[in-house]
Structure formats: C-alpha cells, structure tokens
Amino acid sequence: MAYRNLGSQTAEIDIKICERNYQEKGIGRIALSMLIKHLFHSGYAKIVLETNLNNTRSQHVYEKLGFQKLRVNRNSWQNQLGAWESSVDYALTIDTFHDFAV
C-alpha cells in the first residue's frame, strides 16, 4: 500500500495484495480505510486511484469505500506482453467515505 502527493490537497493511492490466502477476507478494505483516514486527517481533501478495468474485485472494494467512478480509459496502457489494457479512474472525498476500520 502506498500513496503520493499530487498537490492541490490530492493524494493518489495504490494497494496490492498478492498472497491469495489473504485475498477476499476484508483486509484490503480495512487497510485502505486506515490509510484513507490518515490522509484525510493529514489535510488531503481528495483521494484518487486507478485500477485495471478487468479488476472488478478491486472496483467493488473501492465503491464500497465510497469512491466514485470518474471515467474509463480505453486502451490506455500496454501490459508486459504488449497487449492494450483499459483502466478506471476513481475519486473519493471525506463526504462519501465509508470507514471499515472502525
């Protein structure tokens, strides 16, 4: 899990749970909630992220947390095999945030 400051009170976040034994147990939702709370308390007003269009599991988690889908970027990058992939941009403000780390 990581974040970076994009300026204008905006942070971009990223998370990856590679161990299959730890997937689909709510860990990502809780860990993201903790990071998001920290970022909002640190003065960020908006949190953004991007995920692969085919990664519907992560999109489900982001939307449960309150992220709003901004746009779909068709054929926006090439994977390691050279195939074109699409992504989805999301944004979150404190008003729409659902905290799962309570």
Number of domains in the chain: 1
pLDDT at 23: 65
Domain membership flag for residue 101: no
Domain membership flag for residue 102: no
pLDDT at 18: 65
What is the widest separation between alpha-carbon atoms in the chain? 42
pLDDT tens digits for range 16-75: 766 667 666 667 889 899 999 999 999 999 999 999 999 998 999 999 999 999 999 999
pLDDT tens digits for range 18-27: 666 766 666 7
Domain membership flag for residue 38: yes
Token output for 8: 């204008």
Q: How many residues does the chain have?
A: 102
Q: Which residues pair with 4 in a beta bridge?
A: 12
Q: Which residues pair with 85 in a beta bridge?
A: 77
Domain membership flag for residue 75: yes
Look up the CATH number of the domain holding residue 62.
3.40.630.30
Domain membership flag for residue 66: yes
Measured distance between the N- and C-terminal CA atoms of the chain, rounded to whole angstroms = 19
Mean pLDDT of 2-22: 85
DSSP state for residue 23 in the 8-state scheme: T
d(CA 4, CA 42) in angstroms, rounded, equals: 13
pLDDT at 17: 66
Domain membership flag for residue 10: yes
Q: Which domain holds residue 42?
A: 2-96
Domain membership flag for residue 14: yes
pLDDT at 78: 94
Q: What is the CA radius of gyration of the chain?
A: 14
